[in-house]
Copies of this chain bind each other. A is one copy, B any other.
């Protein structure tokens, strides 16, 4: 069966039915992380033949770093960042089959793209301790992904760290899923932005930055970004990183902001690791969709530590219970920031 995207009978909730993906390997033998019995890591240098060829490689060159596209890259082992198609893709790039609208049983063809960004040759690289130059390469790879997959409606870049956060391999990596539709969360955020813009005449995220800078939920800021625990945090120790300058996509980052973003990533993930012994977490970028005028949107990164389990209540209501007030979380994260 080809992957397909099915809509709930009634709700605006879409599920990618991706049976091939069940076969993906894992190197998490037990909890909390990998053990000495691990098999060869398909993401480590020297094992490139275990994965599809890269669509983008960052390799060292005379004048720093060179980006190499679609070369026969399974032979290159001295890469710094390696971007490959996901071998167990949730969505795959092909011409979509049109399905008839079938009332309560609606679906779309499971087309799109699914990539992996291997963030470093170093298996255990962590954004809290990585070199700034390496983090900048990762940010560059994120920007490249937004461009590479810009034919699709939306590009979701995300990172899962730790088995409890859904990572199946422990080697430092992010993922990119390009979807043939604008995901619900994104369309909800866009709609709320438009509504705020209409009544208040400004970008709500610019206002949020103004409210949270230096307030009780503030964590860190630098010349481009501010980090804070959001007002209605769904997850304990949740934090957001928001550009101070209004911009709707990561592709608008200038050189200073790119460096500032790498720096705030390192500060915040260093703090999270310090405060809570490197907990599992997921993060996801919220950016404007590809087609249309979404300049009113304000991109940002949302980080969700996985320290609690959402279950029967949350699943049934779409309401959440968080036992950690964001003010307390921010205080603890401020106190745990690494010295720069």
The interface of chain A, by Cβ under 8 A from chain B, is 1, 5-22, 31, 90, 104-105, 107, 154, 156, 158-160, 163-167, 175, 177, 179, 183-186, 188-189, 192-193, 196, 204, 207-208, 211, 230-234, 282-286, 302, 304, 306, 308-313, 315-326, 328
In the assembled complex, which residues on chain B have CB atoms less than 8 Å from the CB atom of A7? 232
Q: Which residue of B is nearest A320, CB measured?
A: B15
A202 to B15, CA, bound (A): 26
Closest residue on chain B to residue A30 by CB atoms: B31
CB distance from A132 to the nearest CB of B (A): 23
Contact among B16, B156, B167, B316 for A302, CB-based, below 8 A: B316
Q: Are A165 and B321 in contact (CB under 8 A)?
A: no
Bound-state CA distance A52–B325 (Å) is 26
Whether B104 lies near A321 (C-beta < 8 A) is no
Are A317 and B22 in contact, CB atoms less than 8 angstroms apart? no
B13 touches A323 (CB 8 A): no
Contact between A310 and B166, CB atoms less than 8 A apart = yes
Which of these, B107, B154, B193, contacts A10 with CB under 8 Å?
Answer: B193
**Which residues of the partner chain B approach A156 to less than 8 Å between Cβ atoms?**
313, 316-317
